[in-house]
Amino acid sequence: MIPFDTIDQYTYTDDNLDRITGYSTTTLPVHYKPNSETSEYTGNKSLRDYKLYNHTLSLIFAKMDEDKREELIKLESLELTIIFKDVTGTCWIMGQDIPCLLNSVEVGTGNSSGDNAYTIEFVSTEKQHIREIECPSIGCFASFTAEEVNRSTFTIPLASTFN
């Protein structure tokens, strides 16, 4: 997930404008790993305006916890571009022309199937069918938090003579 207004300069294959081969962004994306067996994408032509396409991405995250709840709160007011990978390893983009928005959040726990999960749904309305995009390399976006520690090396002569 990337803030919508931070991506520009999409590039396409010469022979296929439906396949995006690259883009540039001014911020690092945030990566989430939902349940790949139950999460899904659906798309259809808009009933109101036949020049637009509706896209829906439903993601299921197991095990409700405070960290996930805090992340969901952050997503509520954001306009996003989402790149997701399907089960075949193909990546797709939602929110290229018009931002993706968090549409709904469902919380389930305590039922007979034992589900304890969040189901979140993102929606976007685009000018075209969903486009394939070259999968980003997670390595090129890797970031980390580091703490600088200054260390000095010194020698204590005859250290065995101290108690």
Question: In degrees, to the nearest 5, what angle opens at C-alpha 38 toward C-alphas 32 and 44?
Answer: 90
How many domains, in total, are found in the chain? Answer: 1
Domain range holding 69? 2-161
pLDDT of residue 160: 55
- pTM value is 0.72
**For residue 49, what are the CA distances in angstroms to 60, 121, 124?**
30, 22, 14
Q: How far apart are CA 72 and CA 82, in angstroms?
A: 15
**For residue 25, what are the CA distances in angstroms to 5, 19, 22, 51, 136?**
9, 18, 10, 28, 12
pLDDT in tens, 27-84: 878 877 888 778 888 888 876 767 888 999 998 888 777 887 788 888 888 999 999 9
